[in-house]
Amino acid sequence: ADAPETIFVERRDRVGLITLHRPKSLNALNRQLAREVLEALKAFDADDNVGAIVITGSARAFAAGADIEEMANLTFAEFYCDDIFAPWDELRSVSKPIIAAVGGYALGGGCELALMCDFIIAAEDAQFGQPEIKLGILPGIGGSQRLAKAVGKAVAMDLILTGRTIDVHEAKAVGMVARVVPSNELLQTALEAAHTIAGYNCPAVRMAKEAVNVAFEASLTEGMRHERRLFQAAFATEGQKEGMHAFIAKRAPVFRHR
Distance of CA 202 to CAs 162, 232, 234, 245, Å? 42, 15, 10, 17
140 sits near ligand CAA (criterion: CB under 6 A): yes
User: Considering the rule CB under 6 A, would residue 26 count as an interface residue with ligand CAA?
Assistant: yes
68 near ligand CAA, judged by CB under 6 A: yes
Residue among 112, 117, 126, 177 that touches ligand CAA (CB under 6 A): 112
Q: State in angstroms the smallest separation of the CB of 123 from ligand CAA.
A: 15
Q: Catalytic residues, which ones?
A: 66, 109, 112, 132
Rounded distance between C-alpha atoms, residue 39 and residue 230, angstroms: 28
Question: Nearest CA to 85 among 50, 119, 132?
Answer: 132
**Does an H or E element contain 121, and which?**
strand 119-123
Tally Cβ neighbours within 10 Å of residue 114: 27
Residue 237: CB partners within 8 Å, gap ≥ 6? 201, 203, 204
* CB 45, min distance to ligand CAA, A: 23
69 binds ligand CAA (CB under 6 A): yes
Residue 57 near ligand CAA by CB under 6 A:
no
Report the nearest approach of ligand CAA to the CB of residue 67 (Å). Answer: 4
Binding site for ligand CAA (CB under 6 A): 25-26, 28, 64-69, 105, 107-109, 112, 131-132, 135, 139-141, 143
